[in-house]
Amino acid sequence: MMKNGLMHSPFDQRYRRPTRSEVGSPLKADFSHVELYNIDEGRKTIQVPIFTQLLRVEKTPIDCVICAESIYNVSYDAVDEWIEVCMEFDGDWVWKISRFPKILRARCKHTIDFCTPCLQKHIGTQLEQLDKSACDIIRCPSQTCQRLLTYEEVQLYAQKETFSK
């Protein structure tokens, strides 16, 4: 990812966040920007920590139309480029790492202007209201789209606890 310009070096001091618990004490571990993602390795899936503060982000934030939060998304020029760079390390992390569900853009044909947490809440609400059988009738939350999400998209973006019910 560093070779392709999608991630900064972990040794670049501009992206380190040293924190101290008290004056003069050793640095306190800050794991707020480390997330575990599933990576498919042959026949098994392993969890790998990704230092998300090192990922290159867009220069300007995107405003989520649902929660109105301004969010800096992971910067990658095209979905095809992202897939090619990440192909060696397959898994759901390829899509979950983005703050906006970019994989939907290919099928929805509109700008994805809602964040992943809002999509997760939308899916969770639909599954709670309509029961597990709702997997086949959950629509894109965009008011102009209303495309039915695929089972795989629901599985990818639903909270694990919600989807497993």
pLDDT, tens only, 123-152: 999 888 887 677 788 999 998 898 999 998
> Does residue 32 sit in helix, strand or coil?
coil
pLDDT in tens, 61-77: 999 999 999 988 887 76
Residue 14 included in any domain: no
Count how many domains the chain has: 1
Q: Which domain holds residue 141?
A: 56-164
Residue 13 included in any domain: no
pLDDT at 53: 65
Nearest 5°: CA angle at 85, between 54 and 52?
20
Residue 24 included in any domain: no
Say whether pTM exceeds 0.85: no
What CATH number is associated with residue 99? 3.30.40
Residue 156 included in any domain: yes
Residue 6 included in any domain: no
Residue 123 included in any domain: yes
The kind and range of the H/E element at 42 are: none
